[in-house]
Each structure stands twice: as structure tokens, then as C-alpha cells.
Amino acid sequence: MCMQHNKVLILDFGSQYTQLIARRVRELNIYCEIHPFNKIPSDSDSFRAVILSGSPNSVRGEDALHPDLSNIRGKKPLLAVCYGAQYLAHFSGGEVAASNTREYGRANLDFIKTGETFFEGISQGTQVWMSHSDTIKELPTGGVLLASTEDVENAAFKIEGEDTFAIQFHPEVYHTTDGKKVLENFLVKIADIEQDWTPNAFVEETVADLKSQLGNDKVVLGLSGGVDSSVAAMLLHKAIGENLYCIFVNNGLLRKNEFQDVLMQYQGMGLNVKGVDASARFLDALAGKSDPEQKRKTIGRVFIEVFDDEANLIKDVKWLAQGTIYPDVIESVSATGGPSATIKSHHNVGGLPDFMKLKVVEPLKALFKDEVRRVGASMHMDSQLLGRHPFPGPGLAIRILGDLTAEKVRILQEVDAVFINNLRSWNLYDKVWQAGAILLPVNSVGVMGDERTYEKCVALRAVESTDGMTADWVNLPYEFLQKTSNEIINKVKGVNRVVYDISSKPPATIEWE
Ligand code: XMP
């Protein structure tokens, strides 16, 4: 990424909202990066402004997070949010204590000092969102009170003579009505940052960077049919054309007709793409395996073998391109310091086998998912391709519970196709974050005509989410469920019962395996 002149640094103290701060800043067309509070980047001088995030911790705790801000405070525009505000107060001679009154939820700002650029265009009484258990009792040296709420006296302050501002509320959450305006006032009016980080500018700069980075080198990329690898491919295609070799592997676990349809679409986009149908190889390797982790590992291993075989056919390939996006690379700050438990070992298409010795290029690694979509749209990519639901690398294998057979894959593909097509025709597809069908390892009794049947049961799952970390089941209309269930049972041979999954995550993960 270039545009060094316009970077904003967000120092993360582990708040669940840190990524939201970054997204709000970027919605203002300003580029920003998140770094852990204790790893202030060595090129911090190149950042035009700094934002301190919130945190689940207390500044008063024994394991408090206390970075040295002396190279930042007073030297460049600084906005401290929630824990950040408390830490700034603490760091600069103020006093932070446990609060006696409720400081969670909605509150209204009462401006103490009017005419401040920081609150320009925002009305007295504007709604803000609070979420903290400590409070700032005494402002730090040079602190000037800007606003209070009914329960929080020092809700916003600045440091006299500096572009340093602190707010106890969260400007990044939607409940803070004018949160985006606060960020805009700080970044544009106070820090004087230009709003020029647009999808078009990103494409232009990334393509230029890729051209100079890759020169005449050959690059191989594994397309998955998903948004990220497709947009990454398009950027590389613009930069190096035919030197980008795309490989689209059919693992036999894709949706119905997906391999053919998506391959044609890729060809229509002008990509140098090779479709490799390795369904039989995957199904053979999976035969008799019913443990979810074993299935994932097998698919990961076979994918690498197939991909490697294909990549070896390309002479002198030097780079492996991947569709890695920003949430995959943000280094997280753990409140406890310990690693988080592995719930599922995710296999993502395009993993780098050690022995390939290729250099890695990741053109999307600075972008959030919605930004990837906007970048794709600015390159006029097909909106259906860009709007596709996430689909797991191991595909239908983790939606067929237990062991796999070609017949089970066929049944699930048919069921899934009815469900997804209906979501589209009822205009529900774009309102759902992810949807799919699951083939259960149970048969149940039914009657069809005068015949007793003993056939498969399938579950339908549709969820709302922003990042897949948490998810709510979607309240699909009864008429839709009724029609879809009838259609599945009538059309798909081997299925006589349909159920709808009404579990949220946590505790129920999105995939059943
Ligand atoms: P869970 O089931 O963990 O899923 O709630 C969260 C998101 O991750 C996707 N998922 C996977 N994606 N390889 C992938 O590439 C995997 O092994 C895998 N397992 C789950 C899932 O579809 C959802 O979007």
C-alpha cells in the first residue's frame, strides 16, 4: 500500500470495536491501519493521526496496558476513545477510578464548551453510546472539558494547545448518532487529512505497485469462486495480464453446476484460467472418513497436491497470489494473553505448501470484506459474483455429516440448489449473510402416496452476521420455508424431511461440522 501521506494509526487495546473504528475511518475514504498497543510501528512518523481504541481492561489493573505515548501525544493529532481516553488521562496526570453510576448504553451529550471544531455540526443532546466501568475523575494537566452526560462528567475533553482529544463514548458504533461526524471533524478538520482513499484510487495504486513488484514474473493463483480470490485475480490480471495463471479446482464438493458456471464466468472476464476437475481424487481420498477434522485435513492435503501438480506445469513460476484480507492479518490483542482454542481447523483454498518455495503476493491484505466488494465493483465485476455468500473451502464435505459418497453429494447439491434459487427469487439472498443445506446422518419415516418411505432428512441454515464470528439465524418467512420444503421433498429423490436450524452462534457454529 502506498499513500503513506494519508495513513491513520489505530492503536488497539483489545476492544471488540477496534475493527469498527477502522471501518468508519475508511468509510470517510481515509486509509488506516490497526496495530497492537504494544507494537507501535517503527514508521509511526508516517501516520498523520493516531486513534487509541477501547479495551476490556482497566487502566488501574495490575496487568494494565500502558504504552509509552511520549512520541505521539502533542506531536500529532490524537483521538483517545473510551479506555484510550482513560489511559490518556492517567498517562497525563489525571485520575481514573471505578465509577459508581451506570455508564453503559445510550446517553446524551451536553456541550460545556461551544464553538469547538471537534463537535462542529453536531447538536446539543446528541445520542452517544457508553460502555465502561471506570471513569475519569480528574482531567489531566492541560485538560479542558468539552462535554458531559447525565452520568459522566468528563465525557469529552481536549488538551490545551495540542490536537489531542479524548472521548468516553464510542464514535464507531451506530448507536452514537453523530459518531462518524466526530471522526470526520477530527480527521478532516483538525488533522487536515485528505479524503482520497477511494476504491478507484486503490485499484490504480495497487495495479501500479503490482506491476513494479512483479515485472515479467509469472504468478499462480488458486481461484475458489469466492469474492476474495476473484477480486485478487482481477487486480493481478490488470497488472500482469497473461502472466497470471489461475487454477480453479473442482473438488467435487462445490454447489450444483458451480464449477462449469464459474469457470465460464472467469473466462468471460478475460482471465488466464485453467479448470481442473479433480472430483474423483477428492472423493477417493475422503472415502470412509467421517471425522470432521480428518475430512478437512484430507481436503487440504489433496488440494495442495492437485494445485502443486498444476503449478508445476507452469514453467518458471515465481509467485503465489492469495486472496488474504485484512481481518486475517490483524494481529489481535488478547485480554488474557493466552492463545485462543482451535475450534475448527479452517482450510482455505490456496494454502502455500512449504516445498513450493514461491514468494507470496496478497493484493487485498489491507481490505475488509465490504471494501473488497467495492473494489470489485469499481472494476465493473459482476454483482452476483461480488455478492456471493461465503462458502467454506471444504465445501459440501462439512455439510454432509459423517462419511461422504457421490450419491450424498448429489442429494445435497440438489437440495442446496432449490434453497439458494428460492432465496434469490424471493429477493432474500442479499438479506442473508450465508445460507446452505446440511445432509443429516439420519433417515426418517414418511409416506408418499400409499408408500412408506425411509429416507434422508436435511436441515436448512441461513444466518445474519458481519464476520462469521457471531451469527443469528434468519427469520425467513413461513411461506418461503413452506414452499422450499415442499419443493425439496417433491424434487429431490431420497429426501423426505426438511428442518430449519434456529440456533445462533455462539454456541452453535455456522457449519455443523
Ligand atoms: P463456523 O462454522 O466456524 O464458520 O461458525 C464460520 C465461517 O467460516 C466458514 N468455515 C470455513 N471456511 N474452511 C473455510 O474456508 C473451513 O474449514 C471452514 N469452516 C467454516 C463458514 O462457512 C462460515 O462462513
pLDDT score of 323? 94
Distance 509 CA to ligand 1 centre (A): 8
Give 62: exposed, middle or buried? Use CB within 10 Å, 0-12, 13-18, 19+: exposed
Distance 6 CA to ligand 1 centre (A): 35
pLDDT score of 354? 58
Grid coordinates belonging to 482? 413452506
pLDDT score of 330? 86
User: Mapping DSSP to helix (H, G, I), strand (E, B) and coil, where does residue 430 land?
Assistant: helix
Give first-to-last CA distance, the chain, whole Å. Answer: 37
Distance 67 CA to ligand 1 centre (A): 35
Which helix or strand (DSSP H or E) is residue 411 part of?
A: helix 406-425
pLDDT score of 351? 52
CA 106 to chain centre: 27
Distance 392 CA to ligand 1 centre (A): 5
CA distance 165 to 15: 19
Q: Kindly state if the Cβ of 505 falls inside 6 Å of ligand 1.
A: yes
User: Mapping DSSP to helix (H, G, I), strand (E, B) and coil, where does residue 114 land?
Assistant: coil
Q: Kindly state if the Cβ of 295 falls inside 6 Å of ligand 1.
A: no
The protein residue with its alpha carbon nearest to ligand 1, atom 21, reads 392
The protein residue with its alpha carbon nearest to ligand 1, atom 22, reads 392
Q: Give the dihedral sign, CA 311/312/317/322.
A: positive
Task: Dump the DSSP string for 223-280.
Answer: E-SSHHHHHHHHHHHHHHGGGEEEEEEE-S-S-TTHHHHHHHHHHHTT--EEEEE-HH
Which helix or strand (DSSP H or E) is residue 25 part of?
A: helix 18-27
pLDDT score of 350? 45
> pTM of the prediction?
0.88
For the CA of 345, the nearest atom of ligand 1: 17
Q: Kindly state if the Cβ of 346 falls inside 6 Å of ligand 1.
A: yes
Grid coordinates belonging to 312? 508445476
pLDDT score of 344? 52
Check residue 242 and report its DSSP letter: G
CA-nearest of 492, 296, 275 to 404 is 296
pLDDT score of 353? 59
Q: Kindly state if the Cβ of 434 falls inside 6 Å of ligand 1.
A: yes
Return per-residue pLDDT of the chain as tens, 513 residues.
444 568 999 999 999 899 999 999 999 999 999 999 999 998 888 999 999 999 988 898 877 788 999 999 999 999 999 999 999 999 899 999 998 876 788 999 999 988 999 999 999 999 999 988 899 999 999 999 999 999 999 999 999 999 999 999 999 998 999 999 999 999 999 999 999 999 999 999 999 999 999 999 999 999 999 999 999 999 999 999 999 999 999 999 999 999 999 999 999 999 999 999 999 999 999 999 999 999 999 999 999 999 999 999 999 999 999 999 998 888 877 654 433 444 555 544 445 555 568 999 999 999 999 999 999 999 999 999 999 999 999 999 999 999 999 999 999 999 999 999 999 999 999 999 999 999 999 999 999 888 899 999 999 999 999 888 889 999 999 999 999 999 999 999 999 999 999 999 999 999 999
Count CA within 13 A, CB hemisphere, residue 48.
20
Paired with 144 in beta bridges are 158
pLDDT score of 215? 98
pLDDT score of 63? 73
Distance 511 CA to ligand 1 centre (A): 6
Check residue 507 and report its DSSP letter: T
Which of 299, 344, 461 should be mutated for ligand 1, with most atoms under 8 A from CB? 344
pLDDT score of 345? 52
Task: Catalogue the active-site residues.
Answer: 82, 170, 172
Which of 349, 391, 401, 510 should be mutated for ligand 1, with most atoms under 8 A from CB? 510
Cβ pair 321, 221 in contact under 8 A? yes
pLDDT score of 343? 52
CA-nearest of 271, 187, 275, 289 to 231 is 271
